[in-house]
C-alpha cells in the first residue's frame, strides 16, 4: 500500500463522557473524520490542517496515532488504496469561518454513537477502542 493519509479523531470530554466530531464526505455524504494527504513536516501538521480546513477545529494533536484503517480514494478516474493513520485531536475550539464550511455537515456525538455512524468498520473499532481507553483513564483518576 503505497499511499498514506492522516486523519484526525476530534474529541472532547463532557461530564466524563467522550464526544467525537464527525463530518460528511463531500461526494458521497458519508460520516467520517477529517483526513488528507501528507503535507511537508510532521503528520500532526497534516492532521491539524485537515481538521481546520474541513471543520474549523483547533486543538492539540497527539504525538502518536491510535491506529489505522484502509480506505479507497478516487483520484480522477483511478481508485487508490490508502492507509489512513488516525491521530486523536483534543478540540479546544471551532472557528466561525473555515475553508470548507458549507461543503460538509458536522456533528458532535457520544463515541458509541459516532462508531455506529461511520462507514468504515475499522474506523468504528478505532473510535470504540479509543473511548474505552479514555473511560478507563478517567476512572483511574477519579479513584485517586
pLDDT at 79: 87
**How many helical (H) and strand (E) elements, i.e. helices and strands, does the chain have?**
3, 8
CATH code of the domain in which 108 resides:
3.90.79.10
Total domains present in the chain = 1
Would you say residue 2 has pLDDT above 60?
A: no
- Its domain, for residue 18, covers 3-143
72-120 per-position pLDDT tens digit: 887 788 888 999 999 999 999 999 999 999 999 999 999 999 999 999 9
Whole-number pLDDT of residue 1: 42
* Residue 140 pLDDT: 81
CA distance 75 to 96: 30
Which positions ≥6 away from 28 have C-beta within 8 Å? none
Grid coordinates standing for 91?
478540540
Q: Quick one: how far is CA 98 from the chain centroid?
A: 17
**5-9, 13-17, 56-60, 78-82 — which is least confidently predicted?**
13-17
Report pLDDT digits (tens) over 21-75.
Answer: 999 998 899 999 999 999 877 899 999 999 999 999 999 999 999 999 998 887 7
Between 131 and 16, where is the model more confident?
131
Amino acid at each position: 500500500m503505497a499511499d498514506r493519509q492522516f486523519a484526525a479523531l476530534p474529541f472532547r470530554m463532557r461530564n466524563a463522557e467522550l464526544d467525537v466530531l464527525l463530518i460528511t464526505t463531500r461526494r458521497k455524504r458519508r460520516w467520517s473524520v477529517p483526513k488528507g494527504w501528507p503535507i511537508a513536516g510532521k503528520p500532526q501538521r497534516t492532521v491539524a490542517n485537515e481538521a481546520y480546513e474541513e471543520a474549523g477545529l483547533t486543538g492539540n494533536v497527539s504525538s502518536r496515532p491510535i491506529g489505522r484503517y484502509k480506505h479507497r480514494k478516487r483520484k480522477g478516474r483511478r481508485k487508490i488504496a490508502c492507509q489512513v493513520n488516525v491521530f486523536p485531536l483534543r478540540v479546544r475550539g471551532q472557528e466561525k469561518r473555515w475553508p470548507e464550511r458549507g461543503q460538509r455537515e458536522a456533528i458532535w456525538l457520544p463515541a458509541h454513537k459516532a462508531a455506529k455512524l461511520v462507514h468504515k468498520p475499522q474506523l468504528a473499532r478505532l473510535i470504540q477502542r479509543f473511548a474505552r481507553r479514555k473511560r478507563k483513564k478517567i476512572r483511574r483518576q477519579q479513584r485517586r
